[in-house]
Amino acid sequence: MKINLENLKYKHAKSRMKEIKAFYIMLTGCILLTPYLIFINMKVNPEFQWFWFPIFGFAVSVFGYAFYLFIGKNWEEKKIKDLLEKEKINSKSL
């Protein structure tokens, strides 16, 4: 049983690390793409600054994913633990 628990913890940590890595890759992509979009906009049509629209979209997606990853996931895991503890208590009382 101890081996299974350690294996599950390892799998959970590995999947969590993949999600964090994906977040940082997305953040890096947004940071690298933003100056390019500003440059293109200023070269082609400096009167209308359309680059604000994708920057706003990048910001919303990065903040949303960060909220889910660093705050939302914790809430989800805590709720699962609470439900499992309640189920243990209910099964002991029967």
d(CA 64, CA 5): 31
pLDDT of residue 93: 67
Alpha carbon separation from 38 to 35, 51, 57, 63, 81 (Å, rounded): 5, 6, 14, 21, 46
Residue 71, CB half-sphere, CA atoms under 13 Å: how many? Answer: 5
Q: Please, are residues 30 and 62 in contact by the beta-carbon 8 Å criterion?
A: yes
pLDDT at 2: 59
* Per-residue confidence (pLDDT) for residue 30, from 0 to 100: 94
Q: For residues 37 and 54, is the Cβ–Cβ distance under 8 A?
A: yes
Q: What is the pLDDT along the chain (94 residues), one digit of tens a residue?
A: 456 767 877 888 898 899 999 999 999 999 999 999 999 999 999 999 999 999 999 999 999 999 988 887 777 777 777 877 877 777 776 6
